[in-house]
Chains A and B, each alone.
Chain A
Amino acid sequence: MKLAPVLLTLAIVTLLGGCNSYVHSARSSSGGQRIVSLAPSVTETLFALGAGDAVVGVSQYCDYPPSVRQLPRVGSFITPNIEAIAALRPTLVVGLATASDLREIRALRAMGIATLMVDDGSVAAIERSIMAIGDHIGRAGRAHELVRALRAQVEAVQLRLRDQPRRSVLMVVGHQPMVAVGRGTFLDELLTLADAANIAAASDQAWPRLSVEYIIASRPEVILDGQMGTDPSTPGSFWSKYPTIPAVQNHRVLGYPDDPTLHPGPRIGITLDQLARLIHPAAFSAGNTPERAP
């Protein structure tokens, strides 16, 4: 199987973690800070704040910016590896309040390591976590700028969409099972900001397994399908079985890239822009350049 090399690599990376950390501390320019991130959104935020060179360890899911792939991995935000983290001698560990196993976080605190728990579940929470991380590492000014830039991106998209009709949209991450973006997720918020009515919001769940019957009955105008990726040549063979869905009739079943779409963090402004372009292409056509409101 392909598993063996993956596991071996993980093991080696973990083993080498201790050695790597000395290299990083030597070229660290962030006032001797050594930060371990336990989630992709946290890693992205640290790099966006200009503290990338202080990051000495990341979670196994972190893949942006690409340079983090070379950093030591310390497990996931659900199961952080305390030994690997301690070996990196961090001055700060940043994780997710919603996901981190508090037992592991308590153990880190008991070792005298500072920890910061943030939340990346909504647009407001992402803004708050940017501010909190900025405050904590002495880059509050940069954090303010980042949040302002994020809000400007949201405003720019909304300006484009001023005269657009609200479209009913279904956004799924896979077919088997049919897991959709549901109520209370940051992506549901982004869909709403992109002038879309999310048909999956009828369920109480954040990531509901939606029934195909319900999808046919609610007649979405656009379907955003993560399983299709961004390859335009991918035939929507799965959906062609259900030709009464308006999105299928009008060839509005569209793929989207996992990255950055499914990643909460400072790039959600870009994600919003991409979603808005998929849902309302007319608003972004060449002839349609809105003037900024005075």
Chain B
Amino acid sequence: MNRLAVAEKVSPQSTGRRPARAAHLTRARMAMTLSTLAAALVVIASVATAFGSVHISLLRAVADHASPDYAILIGVRIPRVLMGAAVGAVLAAAGVALQALVRNPLAEGGILGISGGGAFGAIVAMVLCSRLPGVDELVPLAAFAAALISTGAVYRLAQLEGRLEPFTLLLVGVIFNAFWGAAIMLVNSVVNFYFTHSIIFWLMGSFEAPTYREVAMVATLGCAGFIFLMWHARDMNILSLGDGEAIELGVDVDGVRRAIFIATSVMIGAAVSVSGIISFVGLIVPHVLRIAFGADHRLLLPASLLAGAAFTVAADLLARTAIAPAELPVGAITALCGGPFFIYVLRREGRRALIR
């Protein structure tokens, strides 16, 4: 009904200098954009599967299932590429939704205290249960639970008179983020010296040795959250007009905000629980795509999903190979590569494009 009309009204204003590109979100343009990004993802994932810290023969891997090549390809490399793709996709798509939710370009899982809570839960579980046999399985569960608890607390505290205020939400989130960071440093300074590595692991993120079960967990929760977000894509477009207009247009602003916040928390919690804090993906990918393709969430959400996956898989390829046989933390790579590129795009396109 009139929602569609509004969504189309939003797009041309949003991209400022390039009205031609965002004139209409046609099916054809959407299909073109998404299939190009999907093709890029497939190419990058294939390269990331072919190369790694050691050279393997794909032929031998396929022919001989007892060979180390097979063990590396099936047991290590493929789950790792899949995990990178799943986590990158989830973080980027959730970033888009959070930026729409608080109407602020700085929003992402880290800033709202979701990933910090998850990392703290993981670290505490690791320190307290370091000698239990099932610690490898227990830590992700603790991280996921802690991420949701942190989110719940932020959600409760950000409510003013029964409404979820974007500004309060952002402030409470920022404070929680700083609080978890300090709590992690506190743990770091009182525990055994040898835990330092593990703590940095959670702070910088990594896709080391994931299992297919973990990949399936992130993919399932990520897909569920993503479908939910897509269902609200038009509402996100309308939210960007401002609360007043959105209410006039019949959007249950508060209900939509709650729904988006819960969905993104589950998505980010799932990602953090297996990979630690991977920064910048949820920030850079949405912004770059917004500049390139416009701010219509019906395109921006799926485009971020694909581009986030491609970017993270590429960053992890670098993390695995740069100083092989040792590894770099992938979170450091995403921040180091993403930061300057982001600034470059920002300077080139002007600030106007960023703010709807």
A203's closest neighbor in chain B, by CB? B326
What's the count of A-B pairs with C-beta under 8 Å? 126
**Residues A207-226 near B (CB distance < 8 A):** 207-214, 216-219, 226
Q: Are B130 and A227 in contact (CB under 8 A)?
A: yes
CA distance A210 to B328 in the complex (A): 9
Residue A111 interfacial (CB < 8 Å): no
Q: Are A177 and B327 in contact (CB under 8 A)?
A: yes
Q: Which residues of the other chain, A, contact B193 by a CB distance below 8 angstroms?
A: 61, 76
Interface size on B, as a range, is: 35 or more
A63's closest neighbor in chain B, by CB? B192
Q: Are A216 and B131 in contact (CB under 8 A)?
A: no
Q: Are A203 and B197 in contact (CB under 8 A)?
A: no
Q: Which residues of the other chain, A, contact B208 by a CB distance below 8 angstroms?
A: 176-178, 209, 211-212
Q: Which residues of the other chain, B, contact A219 by a CB distance below 8 angstroms?
A: 68
Q: Are A216 and B71 in contact (CB under 8 A)?
A: yes
Majority DSSP secondary structure for residues of A touching B: loop
Q: Are A243 and B327 in contact (CB under 8 A)?
A: no
Q: Which residues of the other chain, B, contact A245 by a CB distance below 8 angstroms?
A: 71
CA distance A205 to B324 in the complex (A): 11
**Residues B313-356 near A (CB distance < 8 A):** 320, 323-329
Interface-side segment among B48-56, B85-93, B218-226, B281-289: B48-56
State how many residues of chain A have any CB contact under 8 Å with chain B: 49
CA distance A243 to B74 in the complex (A): 12
Residue B160 interfacial (CB < 8 Å): no
Q: Which of A208, A213, A218, A233 contacts B76 (CB 8 A)?
A: A213
Q: Which residues of the other chain, B, contact A1 by a CB distance below 8 angstroms?
A: 124
Residue B162 interfacial (CB < 8 Å): no
Residue A258 interfacial (CB < 8 Å): yes
CA distance A208 to B208 in the complex (A): 13
**Residues A185-234 near B (CB distance < 8 A):** 200, 202-205, 207-214, 216-219, 226-227, 229, 231, 233-234
CA distance A36 to B327 in the complex (A): 38
Are A211 and B211 CB-contacts (below 8 A) given A244-B67, A244-B71? no
A223–chain B nearest beta-carbon distance, Å: 14
Residue B201 interfacial (CB < 8 Å): yes
Q: Are B56 and A175 in contact (CB under 8 A)?
A: no
Are A235 and B133 CB-contacts (below 8 A) given A10-B190, A241-B75, A258-B194? yes
Binary contact readout B188-231 vs A (1 if CB under 8 angstroms, 0 otherwise): 00101110011011000010110100000000000000000000
Q: Are B201 and A216 in contact (CB under 8 A)?
A: no
CA distance A46 to B328 in the complex (A): 39
CA distance A258 to B192 in the complex (A): 11
Residue B25 interfacial (CB < 8 Å): no
Q: Are B71 and A243 in contact (CB under 8 A)?
A: yes
Residue A154 interfacial (CB < 8 Å): no
Q: Are B201 and A177 in contact (CB under 8 A)?
A: yes
Q: Which residues of the other chain, B, contact A243 by a CB distance below 8 angstroms?
A: 71
Residue B66 interfacial (CB < 8 Å): yes
Q: Are B128 and A179 in contact (CB under 8 A)?
A: no
Q: Are B197 and A208 in contact (CB under 8 A)?
A: no
Residue A159 interfacial (CB < 8 Å): no
Q: Are B136 and A2 in contact (CB under 8 A)?
A: no
B210–chain A nearest beta-carbon distance, Å: 10
Q: Are A176 and B201 in contact (CB under 8 A)?
A: yes
Residue A173 interfacial (CB < 8 Å): yes
A77's closest neighbor in chain B, by CB? B193
CA distance A159 to B69 in the complex (A): 38
Residue A262 interfacial (CB < 8 Å): yes
Q: Which residues of the other chain, A, contact B52 by a CB distance below 8 angstroms?
A: 211, 213
Residue A237 interfacial (CB < 8 Å): yes
Are A216 and B68 CB-contacts (below 8 A) given A174-B198, A177-B201, A258-B194? yes
Interface on A for B, CB 8 Å cutoff?
A: 1-3, 6-7, 10, 60-61, 76, 173-179, 200, 202-205, 207-214, 216-219, 226-227, 229, 231, 233-235, 237-238, 241-245, 258, 262
Can you list 19 contacts pairing A with B, beta carbon distance less than 8 Å?
A60-B190, A176-B139, A176-B209, A200-B325, A208-B326, A209-B197, A209-B327, A210-B327, A212-B76, A213-B77, A214-B54, A216-B76, A217-B56, A217-B72, A229-B131, A231-B133, A234-B133, A237-B134, A241-B75
Interface on B for A, CB 8 Å cutoff?
A: 52-54, 56, 66-68, 70-72, 75-77, 124, 126, 128, 130-131, 133-136, 139, 186-187, 190, 192-194, 197-198, 200-201, 206, 208-209, 211, 320, 323-329
